[in-house]
Amino acid sequence: MPNVVFTIDCEGAHHDRCYTPDYIKVFEAEFVPATWLVHVSLKDPSANTNLYYHEFVHKIPSWHEMGMKVNFENERGYVEDPKERANIIWLAKDTLKSHMIKVTAFRAGAFALLPSDIPYLEEIGIVVDSSVIPDADYKMFVDWHGAPHEPYHSDKSDLKKEGNNRVLHIPVATHNGQHGYLDSGFASLEPLFEANKDCGVICLGLRDYHDSVEDLQKTIRYFRDRGAHFTTLTQAASEHYEHHEALAGVR
């Protein structure tokens, strides 16, 4: 069985309820790490960073990791201009750094990652991205149809093609147009789990404002019963590099 990575989109400051304490209890009880992707956007740069810094960072075990989720938007809506997107990336990095959070994992809000973003992500120290949803029906800003399902380095001009960008993409698991977020419910996701069982990494998502506590417990036990290994995005990236270096040495 593959590595299984749980990621949490941390946006609870913008919603009525945050289930992070419940998720922490499940992860601790099951001894499973996760990657917490703290949401930042120009609309309210520090709301979720403040929430997590004051309420949760000291409660999340040190064997988890903190990453960032960036929404490329401003008061006028979605942002496409490369320079403005770069400014948002730097704002997110500085906002988290001001709260003593140094990140190496990234996800674009609405999975809207563009080639122009990659150099800036590399510049701020991002080593792994999870914005790719290959062949998913969700296509709000970027259509990921045809992108690889396994971890890969992308092409500088086309993120759906393999290339030499330093950032490693770990796609969210997909199947029949569905992408693997646990708010779809465990029963709905079982075919997706089965379809991805031979992948090197199965990356799954949660939202901290949606109650997926029971589905998380079921999902952990499903994969544990099948001998899966649980890890974070950055650890999965590290193991990917080590594996490929070893293969290169054999050659």
How confident is the model over 154-191, as pLDDT tens digits? 999 999 999 999 999 999 999 999 999 999 999 999 99
Rounded to whole angstroms, the Cα distance separating 33 from 23 reads 11
**Average pLDDT of span 233-246:** 78
Q: pTM of the predicted model, to two decimals?
A: 0.94
Structure-block tokens of residue 87: 């400014």
Give yes or no for a contact between 7 and 37, defined as CB atoms under 8 angstroms apart. Answer: yes
**Average pLDDT of span 4-27:** 97
Rounded to whole angstroms, the Cα distance separating 50 from 211 reads 22
Residue 249 has pLDDT above 60, yes or no: no
Rounded to whole angstroms, the Cα distance separating 45 from 66 reads 16
User: Cα–Cα–Cα angle for 237, 97, 45, nearest 5°?
Assistant: 105
pLDDT value for 42: 87
| Domain span at 65 | 3-250
Contacts (Cβ under 8 Å, ≥6 apart) of 222: 186, 190, 193
Rounded to whole angstroms, the Cα distance separating 168 from 55 reads 31
DSSP helix/strand/coil, 68: strand
pLDDT value for 2: 78
Give yes or no for a contact between 175 and 192, defined as CB atoms under 8 angstroms apart. Answer: yes
pLDDT value for 246: 42
pLDDT in tens, 196-207: 999 999 999 999
Q: What is the mean pLDDT of the chain?
A: 94
Number of structural domains found in the chain: 1
Residue 250 has pLDDT above 80, yes or no: no
Rounded to whole angstroms, the Cα distance separating 142 from 174 reads 15
Rounded to whole angstroms, the Cα distance separating 35 from 39 reads 13
Kindly report the CATH number assigned to the domain that includes residue 171: 3.20.20.370
